[in-house]
Amino acid sequence: MEDILLLPLADYWWAYAGFITGLLLILAFDLGVFSKPGTLPTLRAAIVRSICFVLLALAFNYGLYQFLLYELPTRPDLVGLDHAQLARDTSLEFLAGYVVEYALAIDNVFVFVAVFSYFAVPAQYQQKVLFYGIMGAILFRALFISLGSILMQYEWVVAIFGIFLILTGLKILFLPEKPIDPSRNPVILGIKRIFPVTPAFHGDKFWVEIDGKTWVTPLFVALAFIEFSDIIFAIDSVPAIFALTNEPFIVFTSNIFAIIGLRSLFFVLQSMVKAFLFLKYGLGVILVFVGLKMVWLNQAFGGKFPISWSLLIIGSILAVSILVSVAWNRVRGPEDKDPT
Q: Which of 1, 269, 328 is nearest to 112 (CA)?
A: 269
- pLDDT of residue 316 exceeding 90, the answer is yes
Question: pLDDT > 90: what percent of the chain?
Answer: 33
pLDDT, position 298: 85
Question: pLDDT > 70: what percent of the chain?
Answer: 91
Q: How confident is the model at residue 1 (pLDDT cuts 50, 70, 90)?
A: very low
Q: Which of 7, 21, 15, 23 is nearest to 260 (CA)?
A: 23
Q: How confident is the model at residue 54 (pLDDT cuts 50, 70, 90)?
A: very high
Confidence (pTM)? 0.86
Inter-residue contact 123 to 40 (CB < 8 Å): yes
Q: How confident is the model at residue 334 (pLDDT cuts 50, 70, 90)?
A: low
What value does the mean pLDDT take over residues 282-303?
Answer: 89
Q: How confident is the model at residue 3 (pLDDT cuts 50, 70, 90)?
A: low
Inter-residue contact 191 to 310 (CB < 8 Å): no
pLDDT, position 137: 87
SS3 199: coil
What value does the mean pLDDT take over residues 274-285?
Answer: 84
SS3 155: helix
Q: How confident is the model at residue 152 (pLDDT cuts 50, 70, 90)?
A: confident
Amino acid identity at 199: P
The Cα 49–Cα 56 span in angstroms is 10
DSSP string, 158-183: HHHHHHHHHHHHHHHHHSPPPPP-GG
User: How distant, in Å, are the alpha carbons of 112, 178, 200, 202, 296 from that of 119?
Assistant: 11, 18, 10, 14, 43
